[in-house]
Amino acid sequence: MPKLNALIAGSTGYIGIQLVKLLIKHPNINIKYLCGNTSKGKSISYFDKSIKNKKLPKIIKFNNNLLNDIDLVFTALPNGEAQKISNKLLKKNILIDLSADFRLKSAKEYLKWYKIKHSSKNNIKNSIYALPEISKKKLKNYKIISCPGCYPTSILLPLLPLIKPNLIKLNNIIIDSKSGYSGAGRGVHKKYANKNLYESLSAYGVGFHRHNSEIQQELNNYSKKNIKFTFTPHLSPMFRGILSTIYFDIKNGITIKHINSKLKRFYKKDSFVKILPINSLVSTNDVINTNYCHLSVCKSKYRNKLIILSAIDNLIKGGAGQAVQNLNYYFGYNVKKGLVWKI
């Protein structure tokens, strides 16, 4: 079977580098082009010494002519840039986007949250919000695959199976998320120059973090109800990983065993979501450098309240990994290709 030719735009950022590392291991992918605006002519190993594959191309600046030789376009670019590329796609090109450009199904909402006027409104309808475990059967109907944000991935995976079957109350879900500082991109050190990233824990985007928009959209779309939640993110003194702690009230007659069993049944055929025994303590260390999400349902001191712990690697399961997972589902490959070294 011939390999698919791939282009990675934004290949030198944290997500882009991680994507290169995964696709190198994918037996069905040939990385034909690596693109970057300020790194033209450099080798990708300049940005990460662990990448020693000499067959990788030098970094070049993106231009539309490159699309003629490409099956897959991965965009790990600043918000607003993937829209421009989407307007130039050829019939044979599939775009897998890791920015926020096609996550929101309303250009008005995108402008509200990202302060950028959407330049590819017609392509919004040609895109799918692609949380792999939820959308895998629908991917083939779309040319633009929009990968969720890192925080929403850690939040939607535990909540979506519970909100539809009327197991939990939907009016006061509390979400406390802590992420490694790589989630803020390579510019994090300049942006938080007055913070000690290596020894302090910092709340940010309190009440109005951009990821509120896609969390709200997906919870409402999936449940067909208006879900009320409060989400507070924090930057933690670690490079990678996310731990989300989710607090909610359960309906009368529902127990912790009901919640745990529902999650187990929902994800029984999904390779990358692991439901741990009840009251297990979850650590980001257990999922670092993997595409796994670990979930644990825990008791609280109140009979009608439960807590779910959700851990992922923000650069893999919350980024490059689910892009590869969506690629595998789209083309019918083994879902573990490029994501588990021994299949």
133: nearest Cα among 313, 309, 335, 282: 335
Domain for residue 156, yes or no? yes
121: nearest Cα among 141, 106, 100: 106
Same domain for 171 and 156, yes or no, is yes
**Structural domains of the chain, count:** 2
pLDDT of residue 185: 66
User: How far is Cα 14 from Cα 50, in angstroms, rounded to an integer?
Assistant: 13
Same domain for 132 and 211, yes or no, is no
Domain for residue 80, yes or no? yes
**Residues facing residue 32 across a β-bridge:** none
Distances in Å between the Cα of 204 and the Cα atoms of 176, 177, 178, 226, 283 are 12, 11, 10, 25, 22
pLDDT of residue 199: 80
User: How far is Cα 134 from Cα 150, in angstroms, rounded to an integer?
Assistant: 16
The conformational region for residue 115 under phi > 0 = left, psi -120 to 50 = alpha, else beta, is left
Q: Which amino acid is located at 258 in the chain? A: H
Same domain for 156 and 303, yes or no, is yes
Specify the long-range contacts of residues 39-45, CB closer than 8 Å, at least 24 apart: 39/12, 44/11, 44/12, 44/17, 44/20
Domain for residue 338, yes or no? no
Same domain for 297 and 206, yes or no, is yes
Same domain for 123 and 162, yes or no, is no
Same domain for 295 and 327, yes or no, is no
Domain for residue 207, yes or no? yes
pLDDT of residue 49: 87
Distances in Å between the Cα of 23 and the Cα atoms of 3, 83, 201, 321 are 12, 23, 33, 10
| Phi (first) and psi of residue 9, to 5 degrees | -95, 125
Residue 298 has which token pair? 């825990």
User: How far is Cα 80 from Cα 94, in angstroms, rounded to an integer?
Assistant: 18
Q: Residue 122: exposed, middle, or buried by beta-carbon count in 10 A (0-12, 13-18, 19+)?
A: exposed
**CATH number, domain at 13?**
3.40.50.720
pLDDT under 70: residue ranges of the chain: 53-54, 184-196, 341-343
The catalytic residue positions are 150
Same domain for 142 and 259, yes or no, is no
Contact 56, 21 (CB under 8 A): no
pLDDT of residue 38: 82
Distances in Å between the Cα of 97 and the Cα atoms of 59, 167, 281, 315, 322 are 19, 33, 33, 14, 11
Domain for residue 39, yes or no? yes
At which residue do the structure tokens 């702690």 appear? 245
Residue 309 has which token pair? 């712990």
Written as one string, the DSSP assignment of 31-62 is EEEEE-SS-TT--GGGT-TT---TTSPPEE--
Same domain for 160 and 17, yes or no, is no
Same domain for 215 and 246, yes or no, is yes
Same domain for 138 and 210, yes or no, is no
* Residue-number span of the structural domain to which 189 is assigned: 151-314
Domain for residue 339, yes or no? no
**CATH number, domain at 168?**
3.30.360.10
Domain for residue 108, yes or no? yes
Task: Please give, one letter per residue, the 3-state secondary structure of 164-179.
Answer: CCCCECCCCEEEEEEE
User: How far is Cα 173 from Cα 223, in angstroms, rounded to an integer?
Assistant: 14
Same domain for 106 and 156, yes or no, is no
3-class state of residue 133 by DSSP = helix
Q: What is the pTM of this model?
A: 0.94
β-bridge pairing 229-236 and 293-299? unpaired
